[in-house]
Structure 1
Amino acid sequence: MNIAVVNWRDPWHPAAGGAETYAWEMARRFAASGHRVCFVTARGPGQPAKDKRDGVRIARMGGPFTVYPLVLGWLLLRRSLFDVVLDCQNGIPFFTPWVLPRRVRIFCVVHHVHDRQFEVHLPRWLAAVGRFLEGPVSRWTYRGQVSVAVSPSTVNAMRERLGWRGPIHIVPNGVSINGSRNIGRSGVPRLVCVGRLVAHKRVDLLLDAVGELRKRWPGLTVDVIGRGPEEDRLRARLPEGVTMHGYLSEDDKERLIASAWLQVSTSQGEGWGLCVLEAAALGVPTVAFDVDGLRDAVRHGRTGWLLPEGTDLAKGIAAALEELEEAAPADPYGDRSRQWAARFCWDRSAERMARLMRGHAVEPVWEES
């Protein structure tokens, strides 16, 4: 097949995150299977307009907003070339059905519903535009298309908050770990927080909790891994015991995560929470709020702890640390986390997506364990 994967950014864009990982893991596996794949995306500072990696052609154009009309124009000129398009929604989709013929199979890929996050990042008037495009305009545009979500939370949000009526299939994230890490957790409590440093991740909540936690565990440390527009502001208010690492190589990131007692996610909501799965593969459970996506990625009481929104985060983390101390040297949460992560594989997810693209039926996914 001739496949276009249309995504807001590519994995080498300075603002790349989990959505870019998902789109790229799909694209490069399609290419490895013999399909002709083009990854169409925005052009970050210093990035070439054309590129090729892992057998995937990359076409870059425009910035955060101009990428949308430019991609539509690019596809319009090539409307006869593609059999399948993955139209990846990052707040709003690319509305590719507007310019492509009916014979092209278009799949709207949704990580999470952004309606409540637009106002966190945008002026009120622009947030209203975003909600209109994500809701009524998207619902009408993709009414005849098959959609893909990454988790049950996203399916529910699409149905309940966006009024989506068409078929939605779940194609979950996979996990990529470079190697087996048998480092074991550190001698004193160590927390890790991984992700884009943006407002809706609410890293401030973790920083606010550190002082209280260090009263009980004076040697407790926190490693924050990631970059983003909030980085400078967060660095200016770091409490004692917290290190902000910015970007790390995969090996260095895995080494830090593997030595942690807990990963902490303070996000307002996710499609899934890829960092939860990556930590679980290394035997590290996660403390998170019981919000969209994270309630799917964390098995409460088995691979981590889910806290009701508004819960005192320091108390929630302290309870988890105490439970881990009491269980030592056994590591039931670590063992169950590895078993949970082993259920998710990029190869299987890409094959599931490929079956959908060929028009084949797929079995239901996501039975509770």
Structure 2
Amino acid sequence: MPQHVRPSLSLAAPEPPPPPVTGPPPLPRRIVFLARRDLGNPAAGGSELLVDRIADGLTTHGHQVTLLCGGPVAPEHPAPLAQGAAPLRGYRVVSAGGDAGHFLRAPRELARRVGPCDLLVEVCNGMPYLAPLWHRGPTLCLVNHVHTDLWGMRYPGPAARLGRRLEHWALAGTHRRNLMVAVSGSTASALRGLGVDAGRIRLVHNGVEEPAALVPEAPEPLFLAMGRLVEYKRIDLLLRLWERVRPVTGGRLVIVGDGPERERLTALAGPGVTFTGHVSEQRKHQLLCSAWLLLHPSLVEGWGLVVMEAAARRTPSVGFDIPGLRDSVEDGVTGLLARGDSAFAAHWCALTLSGHRRHALGLAAERRAARFRWSDTVRSFRAVAAEAVLPTLPRR
């Protein structure tokens, strides 16, 4: 099969730094994010990256931002940074304790170590903080995805039912007077399904960094899966499908990331599979460019940040037709979505054997990714934050 060489992109001139902040401070001035993890946590993923990019962007506009989270935390970004990113955080990070205990300690640590704020942003990823019950100031709720189907995968029956009810009550009950930020149309739809008033939901999409110069596609088939190795990402399913696909396509399957499932998945892997663990940003960029396809067999996603990172590098994705991926993958245009295991394998084989179609999808993916930048994410979030502190916010 002929090698397809992706033309290199010349690096654009770096954007000038934002002008010094003058005049009255922006409203809300002091913003606190309440989240489970910091970007420096080994278990960090797309939600942590989103909060980091928003928080860092807010500081350039004159806001004072603090992240209150469960430990561990790191003062600097945990990996080499993408082109143009600042080497140090512009915001403060405070650990409220361990991964589980900090949920109980958060109210006390907010009062004791962080102090008053103009806006508290509760990042609700499954287990809620129930901030409106103990915080009296303006509160905003940020939701990546609703965990309804995931509780049963991670916990036994009674605990799963309790988790679903608690999440439902937190989103539709305790936050009933607050605005809610959803990262995709699918997440917004799930919130409406829980009973959240559509008039209180605001969309703020994830962004993506503009990549450095692209490198050529690998001469032999290279397939990439990337993310935290947890149950709902379904890498075990991908490994089973690989045994059906490999005799047709040949090549290699590279799985980037780490997590509690790694040992079990490594034992399941057949020939041609490589687990890399965590990689540097430079290596990540090289793999995303070189890959023929990004494979994303996840059960549920809020958006699928890695899909857009691959798209920015002309690499199309194959995933399942699920909430979140319906937003980040434009089916038949920037990638293919499957409605079953056999269809996933068929899409995988078809795009491998048809370089023309694969490259057409990759070019369309790159064009679409150019519409999603972190500067736009920060701008949208600032507008919602300003709205959230208005005294005229409708109450129900």
Cα distance, 1:106 vs structure 2: 1.2
State how many pairs are aligned.
350
Mapped pair 1:201 → 2:236: no
User: Is the alpha carbon distance of 1:356 and 1:257 closer, same or farther for their aligned partners in structure 2, counting shifts above 3 Å?
Assistant: same
Q: Give the whole-Å Cα distance in 1 for the aligned partners of 2:35 and 2:229.
A: 20
332, 340, 359: which one pairs with 1:301? 332
- Residue in structure 2 matched with residue 180 of structure 1 by the alignment: 213
For structure 2, the 5+ residue unaligned runs are 1-28, 78-87, 390-396
User: Is the alpha carbon distance of 1:36 and 1:137 closer, same or farther for their aligned partners in structure 2, counting shifts above 3 Å?
Assistant: closer
160, 177, 188: which one pairs with 1:155? 188
105, 117, 122: which one pairs with 1:82? 117
Mapped pair 1:231 → 2:262: yes
- Residue in structure 2 matched with residue 63 of structure 1 by the alignment: 98
- CA deviations on 1:266-312 (whole Å, 9 max, x unpaired) are 00010000000000000000000000100110001110001014444
Q: Give the whole-Å Cα distance in 2 for the aligned partners of 1:311 and 1:87.
A: 40
273, 277, 284: which one pairs with 1:246? 277
- Any residues of structure 2 matched to 1:257-296 within 5 Å, and which? 257-296=288-327
Q: Give the whole-Å Cα distance in 2 for the aligned partners of 1:138 and 1:69.
A: 18
Name the stretch that deviates more: 55-64 or 266-275: 55-64
Cα distance, 1:63 vs structure 2: 2.3
Name the stretch that deviates more: 306-315 or 293-302: 306-315
- Residue in structure 1 matched with residue 23 of structure 2 by the alignment: none
Cα distance, 1:320 vs structure 2: 2.2
112, 115, 124: which one pairs with 2:145? 112
- Residue in structure 2 matched with residue 332 of structure 1 by the alignment: 360
User: Is the alpha carbon distance of 1:51 and 1:315 closer, same or farther for their aligned partners in structure 2, counting shifts above 3 Å?
Assistant: closer
Cα distance, 1:334 vs structure 2: 1.6
Q: Give the whole-Å Cα distance in 2 for the aligned partners of 1:309 and 1:62.
A: 42
Mapped pair 1:145 → 2:173: no
Q: Give the whole-Å Cα distance in 2 for the aligned partners of 1:355 and 1:221.
A: 45
Name the stretch that deviates more: 134-143 or 17-26: 134-143
- Residue in structure 2 matched with residue 36 of structure 1 by the alignment: 64
Q: Give the whole-Å Cα distance in 2 for the aligned partners of 1:78 and 1:237.
A: 46
Mapped pair 1:350 → 2:382: no
Cα distance, 1:4 vs structure 2: 0.1
- Residue in structure 2 matched with residue 21 of structure 1 by the alignment: 49
Cα distance, 1:61 vs structure 2: 2.0
- CA deviations on 1:202-224 (whole Å, 9 max, x unpaired) are 00111112222221223x11110
- Residue in structure 2 matched with residue 131 of structure 1 by the alignment: 164
The answer as to whether partners of 1:76 and 1:100 remain within 8 angstroms in 2 is no
For structure 1, the 5+ residue unaligned runs are 362-369
User: Is the alpha carbon distance of 1:310 and 1:212 closer, same or farther for their aligned partners in structure 2, counting shifts above 3 Å?
Assistant: closer
- CA deviations on 1:229-251 (whole Å, 9 max, x unpaired) are 10111111211111110000111
- Residue in structure 2 matched with residue 365 of structure 1 by the alignment: none
The answer as to whether partners of 1:79 and 1:99 remain within 8 angstroms in 2 is no
The answer as to whether partners of 1:51 and 1:58 remain within 8 angstroms in 2 is no
> What SS is found at the alignment partner of 2:228?
coil
- CA deviations on 1:6-36 (whole Å, 9 max, x unpaired) are 1110111011000000011111111122111
Q: Give the whole-Å Cα distance in 1 for the aligned partners of 2:370 and 2:340.
A: 29
Q: For 1:9, give the aligned amino acid.
A: R
Cα distance, 1:360 vs structure 2: 8.4
Q: Give the whole-Å Cα distance in 2 for the aligned partners of 1:77 and 1:131.
A: 31
- Residue in structure 1 matched with residue 33 of structure 2 by the alignment: 5
TM normalised by structure 1 equals 0.90
TM normalised by structure 2 equals 0.84
Q: Give the whole-Å Cα distance in 2 for the aligned partners of 1:51 and 1:97.
A: 31
Q: Give the whole-Å Cα distance in 1 for the aligned partners of 2:47 and 2:124.
A: 9
Cα distance, 1:79 vs structure 2: 8.7
> What SS is found at the alignment partner of 2:347?
helix
Q: Give the whole-Å Cα distance in 1 for the aligned partners of 2:186 and 2:32.
A: 26
Q: Give the whole-Å Cα distance in 2 for the aligned partners of 1:349 and 1:179.
A: 20
Cα distance, 1:76 vs structure 2: 4.3
Cα distance, 1:78 vs structure 2: 7.0
Q: For 2:225, give the aligned amino acid.
A: C
The answer as to whether partners of 2:128 and 2:170 remain within 8 angstroms in 1 is no
Cα distance, 1:137 vs structure 2: 3.6
- CA deviations on 1:59-109 (whole Å, 9 max, x unpaired) are 0122232111111222344796100111101113322112222xx321100
The answer as to whether partners of 1:198 and 1:228 remain within 8 angstroms in 2 is yes
- CA deviations on 1:252-277 (whole Å, 9 max, x unpaired) are 01101110110000000100000000
Q: Give the whole-Å Cα distance in 2 for the aligned partners of 1:312 and 1:277.
A: 22
User: Is the alpha carbon distance of 1:266 and 1:86 closer, same or farther for their aligned partners in structure 2, counting shifts above 3 Å?
Assistant: same
The answer as to whether partners of 2:68 and 2:110 remain within 8 angstroms in 1 is no
Q: Give the whole-Å Cα distance in 1 for the aligned partners of 2:190 and 2:200.
A: 14
Q: For 1:19, give the aligned amino acid.
A: S
Q: Give the whole-Å Cα distance in 1 for the aligned partners of 2:119 and 2:372.
A: 24
